[in-house]
Structure 1
Amino acid sequence: MSGALKTTLHIAVLMGGWSAEREVSLMSGAGVSDALESLGHRVTRIDMGRDVALRLAEAKPDLVFNALHGTPGEDGSIQGMLDLMGLRYTHSGMVTSVIAIDKVLTKQALVPHGIPMPGGRIVRSADLFAGDPLKRPYVLKPVNEGSSVGIAIVTEDGNYGNPIGRDVAGPWQDFEELLAEPYVRGRELTTAVLGDTALGVTELRPKSGFYDYDAKYTDGMTEHLFPAPIPDDIAAACKRIAIEAHRLLGCKGCSRADFRWDDECGEDGLFLLEVNTQPGMTPLSLVPEQARHAGMSYPELVQRIVDEAIRDSAR
């Protein structure tokens, strides 16, 4: 397949799938498909099933736009399949995807290079019923899920019991192992990276609770403040760390870096939580929002991601 950039392309948009983020992916895929068609591209929409390789082989697209979120669209599985099929695709490649979706591998890849991330360790869920793995408050999260799926904040007042109740709803009921991290008090910040440019910093203020899956994707549950009302040095640090993490992990196209900032500790209180290699493209998603503030329309953002993929494949 030629690596030359065409004016118009036949683009297959992969969406849906069977992860916990299926509905979000369907919204992302619908928005991307509409934008691509408005730009004059021919679009084949594929709600991914187990026959995805056959459907792609039949479609013979010039490019695959990966609008999947979670497993297997974000963990290297789809990327490896597309590599074997010789199909060009958007966003990060197989190796980057394998590392970035795994929070432990991400720490191992970034912390030695000076990227500040919370400490922590893997714990067996069954062991939580005997006692705490860390001093409270601490956070429990699946090792390889995105969009704040399955996160529990265990506080000093024993909100899940003390020790954690075996019959109390939480991620320990769905995952054999969890990552336990110290809880970083303070504020939620996020920075989108497109190519080699940080688009800005947004502060996220949930109306109640914390910035979990529902807060991310339910209209009105979270206030987005852009530009974030934070000191210039913290904003600059977010951008610098996001770009460096994007580079160190080998991300392609766009990524989104999520932070916690303890505003009582200055830059020493800023911690990268994770890098999302398949950021949402829904009406509530942060990458389109930051791009819009940077003067880029949603279709222009989609086209930029396509152009990045074409250039990468040509190289």
Structure 2
Amino acid sequence: MNNHTLTVIQGIQVGHHTDNRRPTGCTVVLTPFGSVAGVDVRGAAPGTRETDLLHPSNTVQHIHGLVLSGGSAFGLDAASGVMRWLEEQGHGLPVGPVCVPIVPAAVVFDLWVDDFESAAFQRGERIRPDAQAGYLACLAASNAPVVQGNVGAGAGATIGKMNGPHCAMKGGLGSAALTVNGITVAALIVCNALGDVIDPRNGRLLAGARTAPDSRELLDIRQAQLKGHAIASLTAGSNTTIGVIATDAVLTKPQSHRLAQVAHDGLARSICPVHTPMDGDTLFALGTGTSGQAADMMLLSTLAAEVTAMAVVNAVQAAQELRLGNNWWPAMAP
């Protein structure tokens, strides 16, 4: 089977844990033997962990895993389970007699997607990814092609909330990869954006804000705003697109930081609007060095933006319709 997803990069494994009690979950990207990493946060409402240590001037040079999770800030707890699994396997940063796994994380807000009329909710049960969810995602990790759609961190993702959450559509998780001149770059993106998703190849509006809760008709946020359409009252941090871009080229820490920066161009091509005050858009970049080839940053920059945009499109194309109680989040029309 051809693999055109993140796991085509040698040294990377991906695992999902999808909670069957409500649409939420987490996705783990494992690099247990260490990978150079960088991060760039463009949204104004991020939910993250261990991003400061990825700054090029800081000491730690390698990470051992990444967590992308639903559950808003509660979902950051999933990284603790990934640390536990990595420690059990003997992976981490040697610090005296122990190894400390380095596991950055980012989260999306999927708390809208719940059955607030359910008996579980009325009993006060709150279902969010926790440390056990992160541990189970590690157990499920492999180098098989990444399963896409409403799995893992993409289980509860929605998009197009600028006309209110009840006029949104289903988002999800997507992945894509490209190889040029013997160097591979791949992306895994969880699309939970405030904005619409656009196919950058032709400018066609694929999915996003609908005109009414019971309609499939798309509003087209950009055109609506240009015409003075009053957007719905929005909640800060209730949206976000997060993900990871990886290459098998040999990267330095500053180069991985730059790769994370330019990958955001792919979000700008495929999501409109993006990097808003209500989004926490965060992208990580990894360099495994497994190809042995030195980084051609001009080529890598082009590929990073391209696979990021492709992964966003794949995320909405793989998404599935969801109904909970009186709420309906349709998927992209075939």
Query: TM exceeds 0.5?
Result: no
By percentage of residues, which structure has more strand? Answer: 2
Higher helix share: 1
What is the TM-score with the length of structure 2 in the denominator?
0.25
Larger radius of gyration: 1
Query: What is the TM-score of this pair, normalised by structure 1?
Result: 0.26
